[in-house]
Amino acid sequence: MSIVVTGGAGFIGSNFILEWLAHSDETVINIDCLSYAGNLSNLQSLQDDRRHMLKVVNINDRDEVAKILDQYQPRAVLNLAAESHVDRSIHSPAAFIETNILGTFSLLEAVRAYWNELAAEEKKGFRFLQVSTDEVYGSLAAADAAFNESNQYQPNSPYSASKAASDHLVRAYHHTYGLPVLTTNCSNNYGPLQFPEKLIPLIIHNALAEKPLPIYGDGLQIRDWLHVSDHCSAIRRVLEKGRTGEVYNIGGNSEMTNIDIVRAICALLDQRKPRLSGSYADLIEYVADRPGHDRRYAIDSNKLQEEFSWQPLETFTSGLEKTVSWYLSNAAWVEEVSNGDYLQWTKTQYS
């Protein structure tokens, strides 16, 4: 038995594969094109593990994906391959259309052809799991109820629009072709191995380098924060028990403003690695707001909790403490991924 994970060298993908192989001996075929956010060092501990097979392939390469499916005969395909950073989508949306929309289409076509040739019992047990985001639902006002699975899609950035389009394709392939699909929409992830362009690793990285800690606008944008380990456990549960054609929201029950996140990181760093003088909070610097910046996201994951008895194990306090500890203990990893291209990006984005 085997499963295919696309984007398995990225942040969520690598954490999922590590978590999967910690609980199962089922082989994982990892399809990743190793873009800037795909990092082989994320999976260094699996270098000699025969249960993990890396295929350096772009999901837009339908022929190569088809060969992999025919060779390994997986019982499931989990699509975690995505361009995922909103800021990058504002500056360079073409890559998001290419990967998130066209890539998902190519992957679905390869999977549909493979699935159609399976024997009846294998065909019945097969699953395609689309990992998506809460950003497809748009923005909430302070008093609005959290997003549930029946919320209308109202994406506001090129990134969220591209993910919404890919989700619609997945839904269409279920209703038109009968492909047994599942979709998950998660809130903001954080944890180890996250590329330092996202808020939490960016702030940790900049603080330790004594660089400004950029805060968009007034810093009062609200997100629900989900530790990546809890996200991975939820994906496993949905793959195991989810009803085909259904959508499941995954949240961390931790709504926080951006400025409170940054202050919490600074307080932890003040304890763990104090500056020579003053607090890391002294480095906070407000910058021009992101165009079209959504004000609030919040996830209602009651459906997942009630159907599968799932709950996030990490509170935001415990998860952030573990995350800060990981980055302090893995400075070499951060330096490796923070290359010239990354430095130029942050300089352009926050200047």
Q: Which of 83, 135, 300, 314 is catalytic?
A: 135
Distance CA 320, CA 324 (A): 6
Q: Which of 32, 83, 87, 134 is catalytic?
A: 134
Distance CA 79, CA 282 (A): 41
159 belongs to the catalytic site: yes
CA of 331: how far to CAs of 118, 192, 338, 339, in Å?
A: 46, 12, 11, 13
134 belongs to the catalytic site: yes
Distance CA 234, CA 300 (A): 14
291 Cα distance to chain centroid: 22
Bin 199: left if φ > 0, else alpha if -120 < ψ < 50, else beta: alpha
Identify the CA nearest to 85 among candidates 131, 39, 135.
135
Residue 149 is encoded by which pair of tokens?
A: 């699975």
Bin 178: left if φ > 0, else alpha if -120 < ψ < 50, else beta: left
3-state secondary structure of 197: coil
330 Cα distance to chain centroid: 20
Q: Which of 114, 137, 159, 248 is catalytic?
A: 159
Whose structure tokens read 């709950």?
311
Given a contact cutoff of 8 angstroms between Cβ atoms, the answer to whether 26 and 49 are in contact is no
48 belongs to the catalytic site: no
Residues carrying an active site annotation:
134-135, 159
